[in-house]
Structure 1
Amino acid sequence: MKRLWDEYLAPNPWSACFTNFTIAYINYAWSLFYLIPILSVKVMRNVISVRTQNLRLERDRLQLEKNNLDLQGESLKLQRDNLNLELSFLKSQINPHFLFNTLNAIYARTADVDDHAADLVMRLSNLMRYSLYESNREKVVMTKEVDYIESYIELEKARFSEKVTIEYHLIGNPDHYFIAPLLLISFVENAFKHGTSRSIAPSFVYISIDLEGYNLRFQVKNSVPPKSGLSSLKKTNEKAGGFGLLNTAKRLELLYPQKHKLTVTQTDEQFGIELEIDLTSISHLHEDVKL
């Protein structure tokens, strides 16, 4: 062993590496002893650097998503505020005390003379009261929304008399459901405004409310005045009763995101909408409310 060590420490040990296997092995072992720790440290530093970079990228991605959600939330808030301002503006144009006192006086004078006229006055009063007061609520029992629609239909029947064929169907018990107020009436108003009031020929309006499980299926169809074609149907952004169809679509996006489906169909003879809403979450929140 001493001889091998002396040979290793000889003046030219590198030549011994090629002539003596043991000395070559010792040199190889010593090189690994120095190289492995250096490589290990470098590998660890690379791994840590890559993980740090990945964490930084993930943090930046989450921050971008948070910023996008904040922007979407602000946009939805602005749209909601805009709709509330429109409703407030409508209410500010009406003196409710004067209106209801006048309607009550008319009802009292017609009750003993014409039952049908008195009923129409009472329905009009109920319409205005619901529009002014119940619309402030976030959700109402669907019975109130249905009553509003039925009262509106009766007023339109009296207005158009025999000129319009009106068909209305209600399936299910609306007492068991909650819905955003004044959400469905826009479609009904649009059917009369753009379908029957613009036509001198006989026309029709079909309205259906179907409640099954926690699903609402609402359909409105109306005839299109002759010679108007699709050109008049493109003007559905006009406001009806304070809410146009465009605003109603925005409200649906705000109030029932990914829980509704609105389908619009139009031909030269007919315009129709079909709305489906999942009322599950809203109804569950109010299951303990006594109706």
Structure 2
Amino acid sequence: MAIQPYSIYKSKTQRMSSHIVMLLLTYLYYMLFNKIYFNEKHISNYLIFFTILQYLRIIFLFYLCCFIIQLFKAQKGIWVAILLLLVLPLDWVLLLSVTKVSMYFHWNNPQIQEIWDFYSHTSPYSIVYVLLYLSSTFWATIPLILIKIVIEIYQNAQTQKLLQERNNELQFEKAQSNIPSEWLRKSLDEIHANLKENPPAQKAVEQLSQLLNFAFVKSREKNVLLTDEILFLNNFLEFERMRHNPEKVSIQFEYTIDTNNEKSIAPLIFINFIENAFKHGVNSTTSQSWVKVSLIQQENEIHFNVKNSLPNKKAEQTNIKDVGGVGLDNVRKRLDLEYANNYQLNFSAENIFEVDLKIKLA
């Protein structure tokens, strides 16, 4: 589902009301600007009349320029070129019309007469007119420009935040599918084979139920209790113990948490590291292998560590990219989204592969 750009306006009525307020404030500014320009000590009737007409012209051209920008963003180059060619003569006609109407009502005002004499003898495509057009439009609409810039910056920032949150949700959904279907099938086969002759099979079924419930239901939450995450990891490792001969594969899991200050954490944030340890260590050799997992909570910091043996043929030529792959890159991206600068992730691949992760929680 596409993310709609964030808008500070919740309805069309609110947008229209906000524009009206901004236009009124801008008019007050523009009237003060013209008062200073015409050297008027008091705001006379002709100044108010002239300012209203000029302001309507400026605002019309301002919104026309905004429309041109929107066409440019939509890559409608032909319409942009046509409107850019028309905007100067259109402004020239509007300016002369405003001045002529003002002269009709205030025929004896010399300053308005000077404006008419100057612009009536100036081409709309001359450099002088272009510079005057840009200057007058800018100074007349500077409050609108500043307000629009601030609004655009804020809306863009909020849109980026929404995109980040959506990306985070997608990472969660991806994490939920991190347990391979092949692994589940093998685990269920093990349970089926042991049901008739192995009493612990019932316990295995219960563990599998808990594991699946966490992976596909509870992990949809933004954060889960650390004890729930540990229970999930323990169930996962129990199934690995069941699948492998304990005389050939050693699996250790140690954890320490502060039950009086239990924290929450993003679900399924550790499982990729453990899966990686089995994939590139235990499952890649028929000789003796091992995996050691530890998770320690110290106040607001979690220290997670995974070590695994490497096959002899890989031990001397292993690099982190070989045993990490896309999976660990995805975990790093998710850590960036969830914890930004509040985590440290280090890898080591000298004879053994080690992942060391420290997360600071709020």
TM-score range (shorter-chain normalised) is: 0.5 to 0.7
Alpha carbons of 1:90 and 1:278: their partners in 2 closer, same or farther (altered >3 Å)?
closer
**Paired position in structure 2 for 1:121:** 205
Q: Is the 8 A contact 1:140 1:181 kept in 2?
A: yes
Flag the structure with higher strand content: 1
Say if 2:257 is the partner of 1:169: no
Q: How many residues align?
A: 217
Q: Give CA-to-partner distance per residue, 1:224-244, whole Å, 9 cap, x none.
A: 112123258425234xxxxx2
Q: Is the 8 A contact 2:348 2:355 kept in 1?
A: yes
1:88: Cα distance to partner?
6.9
How far apart are the structure 1 equivalents of 2:307 and 2:256?
Answer: 17
> SS of the residue aligned with 1:138?
coil
| RMSD (Å) for aligned C-alpha atoms | 3.9
The 5-angstrom pairing of residues 242-253 of structure 1 reads: 244-253=327-336
Say if 2:220 is the partner of 1:136: yes
How far apart are the structure 1 equivalents of 2:238 and 2:356?
Answer: 22
Alpha carbons of 1:278 and 1:225: their partners in 2 closer, same or farther (altered >3 Å)?
same
Q: Is the 8 A contact 2:305 2:356 kept in 1?
A: yes
The 5-angstrom pairing of residues 9-24 of structure 1 reads: none
> SS of the residue aligned with 1:237?
helix
Say if 2:160 is the partner of 1:160: no
Say if 2:309 is the partner of 1:227: no
Amino acid at match of 1:155: F
Q: Is the 8 A contact 2:277 2:306 kept in 1?
A: yes
Say if 2:174 is the partner of 1:86: yes
**Paired position in structure 1 for 2:337:** 254
Q: Is the 8 A contact 2:176 2:216 kept in 1?
A: no
Q: 2:303 aligns with which of 211, 217, 221?
A: 217
How far apart are the structure 2 equivalents of 1:90 and 1:199?
Answer: 22
Q: 1:236 aligns with which of 303, 324, 332?
A: 324
TM-score, normalised by the number of residues in structure 1? 0.61
Amino acid at match of 2:252: E
Say if 2:285 is the partner of 1:202: no
Gaps in structure 2 of 5+ consecutive residues: 1-145
How far apart are the structure 2 equivalents of 1:90 and 1:270?
Answer: 24
Amino acid at match of 2:328: L
How far apart are the structure 1 equivalents of 2:226 and 2:177?
Answer: 25
Alpha carbons of 1:153 and 1:248: their partners in 2 closer, same or farther (altered >3 Å)?
same
Amino acid at match of 1:142: L
Alpha carbons of 1:59 and 1:274: their partners in 2 closer, same or farther (altered >3 Å)?
farther
Alpha carbons of 1:139 and 1:205: their partners in 2 closer, same or farther (altered >3 Å)?
same
Q: Give CA-to-partner distance per residue, 1:44-76, whole Å, 9 cap, x none.
A: xxxxxxxxxxxxxx9999789758745753552
Gaps in structure 1 of 5+ consecutive residues: 1-57, 94-98, 239-243, 281-291
**Paired position in structure 2 for 1:264:** 347
Amino acid at match of 1:164: V
Q: Is the 8 A contact 1:174 1:211 kept in 2?
A: no
Q: Is the 8 A contact 2:258 2:299 kept in 1?
A: no
How far apart are the structure 2 equivalents of 1:107 and 1:214?
Answer: 44
For the pair shown, the structure with the greater C-alpha radius of gyration is 1
Alpha carbons of 1:174 and 1:143: their partners in 2 closer, same or farther (altered >3 Å)?
farther
How far apart are the structure 2 equivalents of 1:129 and 1:177?
Answer: 21
> SS of the residue aligned with 1:230?
coil
How far apart are the structure 2 equivalents of 1:197 and 1:174?
Answer: 35
TM-score, normalised by the number of residues in structure 2? 0.50
